[in-house]
Structure 1
């Protein structure tokens, strides 16, 4: 039961929207195209197993890890999963 100006189900709609946005963001960042043989950041060779496992890969493991750390700082959605935290 919602209170105030929110309609019934508003909290769940907000949570669903947050999850859908996160999924769309993650999908938009998937690599596309042909994998590179060398990292575009540091020019280190990218192992063939990595190129086969992740089609379109452009970074070596170390550079990808750094890139992921930087992206996590800008994650724009709530990871706590608590309904109460969605409203704050």
Structure 2
């Protein structure tokens, strides 16, 4: 099972690259969980790790962009149309 790590902090991405099997991507900051899920789905598809028919597991922390706050885990579709329709925010 591939692991895709998205972070807005370059030093965090560098450390995560040392973890076996982790694909790291430096992204812009997000302020809503739904956008974090959309970013993860897009990156997973772009990296060839998932298709629109797949499900992905997304972890995040609130408040966003604050190290050490991981407190959310969600199984989400990799299809953006389903993310926006199935998960009103």
Q: TM-score higher than 0.5 here?
A: no
Structure whose alpha-carbon radius of gyration is higher: 1
Range of TM-score over shorter length: under 0.3
* TM-score for both structures, normalised by structure 2: 0.23
Higher relative strand content: 2
